Structure 1
Amino acid sequence: MSEAVAIIPARGGSKGILRKNLQRVGGVPLVARAVDAARRCPAIDRVVVTTDDADIAAVAAEWGAEIVERPADLSGDEAGSESALLHALDVLEARRVDAGIVAFLQATSPFLDVDALTTAVQLVRSRRRDSVFSAVETYGFLWRKGGGGAAEAINHDADVRPRRQDRDPHHLETGGFYVLRASGLRAARHRFFGSIGIVEVDPRTAIEIDTLQELETARAVAGLIDRAPDGHGAAIAADAVVTDFDGVHTDDRVRVDQDGIESVAVSRSDGMGVSLLRAAGIPFLILSTEANPVVAARGRKLGVEVRQGAADKAAVLRDWAKGRGIPLSRIAYLGNDVNDLSCLEIVGWPVAVPDAHPLVLSAARVVLDRPGGSGAVRDLAERVLAGRSPATPAGAPRQVHERAADAASDHPTAPLEAS
C-alpha cells in the first residue's frame, strides 16, 4: 500500500521573524514541533522536511525527519508552498517512495492536533475526501471595508441579528495542516481539489505564527496546551544534566542568624538523585554565576563538577559540553531565573522549577512539580534515568511539556550561595 507522507516546508528566510522556523515555543524549535507531531500521528508513515537551510535540516533530522534539499528558486518569498510539495514528491519518487497521501504540515502552527490529523488522513485514505484541511468553527459576524472604508457585511445581513442557536456556523482555516491525495495534488497543482473536507480542531491550538506578537502569545500559552492530559509526561532523553544552584538546589531563600551568618537549605532527596545519575554514568555539572564557596562545597559533597563565577553561563556550558563531546541538544539544563535564559535557549532540554521567573517558564520544555530545594533535582534525575530505560524510546518526546510526580525531601542547612 502507498505511504502517507507528512511534508513540512521550512525555508530559512523569513521577513517577519528572523529564522522563524528555528524559533522556540515551549523550549522546542518550531520545525521540531511539527516533526514531533507528525511522528506521533499513527496514520503517518514517513516524515519529510523540505528546506534550503542547513541548520533547519540538522534540527529536523535529529528529531527523526527525512530531508529534501529545497532548491533556491523554490525558497524565495514568492515561492508557493505547493511548489515545495511537488518538488518533494518528485524527490521521493526518485527515492522509490510511493507517496499516495500528502499531509502538508505548517511549522508555523506550533500546536498541531495529532488526533485531528489522524482523522484527516483516514478521510483521504478511505477515499471519502480528496483534500482535507484543519479549521475552527466560528459563529462570528464577518465584515469587510468597502469603498471609501465603509463597512460591508459578508456572511450575514446587517439588519438581521439572529441568535447563535439559529445560525449555521462557518469554518476558518487554521493553516495547521492539509491532507491531500498525491495524485490530485500533482494534477491540480493546488491544495484544494475534488471533494474537500473539514476537520475541526480546538480553537486554543489555532495559533499561526507570522509576527513577533503571535510568537510571544504561543510561548505564553505553550505550557497549558502542551501539558499531558493526565498531568504527567514522558521521560527526558538527555545524556547530561546541568543545573543552576540557587533556586534549584536551594529554595531561593537566605537565612541570617544574630551574628550575620547566612545559610541556605538543600534537599537530601536531591542528593540521592544526583547519586543515581552518577551511578548511571550521566555527567552532572553545577553552573553558577556566583563565586560563593558554598557552591563548591555542595559540589564536593555530591561528587560532581562545579563551574562558578561564570559571567557568561552559555559560553561556559558550550565549552563544557564540547570538552565532553556531548551535543547541546542532548543536555538537560535546570534553571529558575533570567540569568539561566542563555543556557535554556541552547540546550535540547530546557527545564524549569515551577516557581521560576515567567520568562524561564516560557522558555522551558519541561516544568517540574517540585520546587527548588524540595526535590526538583531528584525529579529531574528520575526523568533522565527513565529516558535511558530500554522501555523508553530515545529521541523526541511523546509530550513536549511534562509534570513530575511528588518526591519527598528534607532540608539540611548549608552556607549561603547568592543567586
Structure 2
Amino acid sequence: MTKPICFIGARGGSKGVPRKNIRLLAGKPLIAYAIESSIKSNIFSHVVVSTEDKEIARIAEKFGAEVPFLRPKKLATSSAGMAEVIIHGLKKLFSMGYDFDTFVSRDCTVPFIRNKDVAGSIRLLNQKKCNAVFGVYRQHLNPYFNMMELDSSGFLKLVKEKGKRPASRQTAPIVYQLNGLFTYKTEKFFKYGKPLLPNALPYEIPAETGLMIDTEFEFQLAEMIVKKKILKLD
C-alpha cells in the first residue's frame, strides 16, 4: 500500500483576513504550521501545496512543501469550489507520476490539527467500509436548540425543529463541526467529485485543535495559543 499524500490548498485572496495564508502567526507564516506538522508526521509520501500565488508558492517551498504546479487563476477566486481545486490538483499530480490511493486535505487556516488525529483518521478510513473520514468536534451551538434563522416573514425560528424543543442543549441531538481535516479514498473522491462524500465517518478531535481562522479575532486567538503554549501541537 502506497503512503497517502497531504494536499493543502492555499489561494492568495482572503476577504476575512487579508493575505491570511502567509500572514505571520507568532513569527511564522500561517501555512507553515500545516506544512511542517505534516512533514514531521512521516505519514505522507508528499506534502503538496496548490496555489496560484507565487509568493505563497515560494514560502511553501521554503518550509518544505512541494509546489509542482501553479493553480489556474480561475480556480483561485472566492467562487471557486474546493472540489474543483482538488480534482485539478490530483489530476496534475497523477500526470506527473505521483502514486497514491489515499489523500488528506488539510486546510492551512486550521493550524493546530494533531498528527495523531491525522493518523487516526487514516486508520479509520482503512479499517471501515467508508468513502471518507472527516475530522470533527461536537458543537455546542445546536440547530435543534440554540441556532436560529429567519422564516419567510422575517421572524426567528429554530434551524431544525424536531417536535418539542429539547429541554437543554445536552439533551438535543449531537451535531458536529467540520474543520480542516478531510481524509479520502482517491477513487471515491473522483467518483463523487465533491468534498462531502456519502458514507463518510466522523473522527472526533478536541475542539481547541480544530480552531479555524476566518476572522481577525480568531487570528489573535491563535496567536495567543501559540505564544502562551496553551496547546501541545505534536
Common topology (TM > 0.5) = yes
CA–CA distance in 1 between the matches of 2:42 and 2:154? Answer: 49
Q: After superposition, where does 1:130-209 map in structure 2 within 5 Å? A: 130-139=131-140, 140=142, 141=145, 142-157=147-162, 159-163=164-168, 166-174=171-179, 176-209=180-213
Aligned to 1:30: 30
Q: After superposition, where does 1:99-114 map in structure 2 within 5 Å? A: 99-114=100-115
One-letter amino acid matched to 2:177? L
Q: Secondary structure at the match of 2:105?
A: strand
- Tell me which of the two structures has the higher relative contact order, counting C-alpha pairs closer than 8 angstroms and 6 or more residues apart: 2
Q: After superposition, where does 1:23-102 map in structure 2 within 5 Å? A: 23-67=23-67, 68-102=69-103
**Which structure's CA Rg is the greater one?**
1
Task: Tell whether the 8 Å contact from 1:49 to 1:57 is kept in structure 2 after alignment.
Answer: yes
RMSD (Å) for aligned C-alpha atoms: 2.3
Q: Secondary structure at the match of 1:197?
A: strand
In the TM superposition, residue 26 of structure 1 has moved relative to its aligned partner by 2.9
Task: Tell whether the 8 Å contact from 2:9 to 2:108 is kept in structure 1 after alignment.
Answer: yes
Task: Tell whether the 8 Å contact from 1:130 to 1:195 is kept in structure 2 after alignment.
Answer: yes
- The structure-2 alpha-carbon separation of the partners of 1:162 and 1:56, relative to structure 1 and needing over 3 Å to count, comes to same
CA–CA distance in 2 between the matches of 1:104 and 1:38? Answer: 11
CA displacement, residues 262-307 of structure 1 (integer Å, 9 cap, x when unaligned): xxxxxxxxxxxxxxxxxxxxxxxxxxxxxxxxxxxxxxxxxxxxxx
One-letter amino acid matched to 1:195? N
CA–CA distance in 1 between the matches of 2:24 and 2:72? Answer: 25
- The structure-2 alpha-carbon separation of the partners of 1:161 and 1:189, relative to structure 1 and needing over 3 Å to count, comes to closer
- The structure-2 alpha-carbon separation of the partners of 1:161 and 1:87, relative to structure 1 and needing over 3 Å to count, comes to closer
Q: Secondary structure at the match of 2:211?
A: coil
CA–CA distance in 1 between the matches of 2:38 and 2:230? Answer: 15
- The structure-2 alpha-carbon separation of the partners of 1:47 and 1:168, relative to structure 1 and needing over 3 Å to count, comes to same
CA–CA distance in 2 between the matches of 1:197 and 1:31? Answer: 27
TM-score by length of 2: 0.87
One-letter amino acid matched to 1:85? I
- The structure-2 alpha-carbon separation of the partners of 1:32 and 1:178, relative to structure 1 and needing over 3 Å to count, comes to same
CA–CA distance in 1 between the matches of 2:79 and 2:48? Answer: 22
CA–CA distance in 2 between the matches of 1:227 and 1:27? Answer: 17
- The structure-2 alpha-carbon separation of the partners of 1:40 and 1:78, relative to structure 1 and needing over 3 Å to count, comes to same
Count the aligned residue pairs. Answer: 229
Task: Tell whether the 8 Å contact from 2:3 to 2:43 is kept in structure 1 after alignment.
Answer: no
In the TM superposition, residue 104 of structure 1 has moved relative to its aligned partner by 0.7
Aligned to 1:328: none
Q: Secondary structure at the match of 1:172?
A: strand
Aligned to 1:16: 16
Aligned to 2:5: 5
CA–CA distance in 2 between the matches of 1:225 and 1:199? Answer: 25
- The structure-2 alpha-carbon separation of the partners of 1:224 and 1:118, relative to structure 1 and needing over 3 Å to count, comes to farther
Q: Secondary structure at the match of 1:82?
A: helix
Q: Secondary structure at the match of 1:3?
A: coil
TM-score by length of 1: 0.51
- The structure-2 alpha-carbon separation of the partners of 1:55 and 1:165, relative to structure 1 and needing over 3 Å to count, comes to closer
Task: Tell whether the 8 Å contact from 1:23 to 1:30 is kept in structure 2 after alignment.
Answer: yes
Task: Tell whether the 8 Å contact from 1:132 to 1:198 is kept in structure 2 after alignment.
Answer: yes
Unaligned runs of 5+ residues in structure 1 are 230-398, 400-419
CA–CA distance in 2 between the matches of 1:216 and 1:148? Answer: 38
Task: Tell whether the 8 Å contact from 1:101 to 1:125 is kept in structure 2 after alignment.
Answer: no
CA–CA distance in 2 between the matches of 1:59 and 1:102? Answer: 22
Identity %: 24
- The structure-2 alpha-carbon separation of the partners of 1:157 and 1:114, relative to structure 1 and needing over 3 Å to count, comes to same
- The structure-2 alpha-carbon separation of the partners of 1:225 and 1:179, relative to structure 1 and needing over 3 Å to count, comes to farther
One-letter amino acid matched to 1:59? I
- The structure-2 alpha-carbon separation of the partners of 1:83 and 1:226, relative to structure 1 and needing over 3 Å to count, comes to farther
CA–CA distance in 2 between the matches of 1:189 and 1:216? Answer: 35
Task: Tell whether the 8 Å contact from 2:82 to 2:195 is kept in structure 1 after alignment.
Answer: no
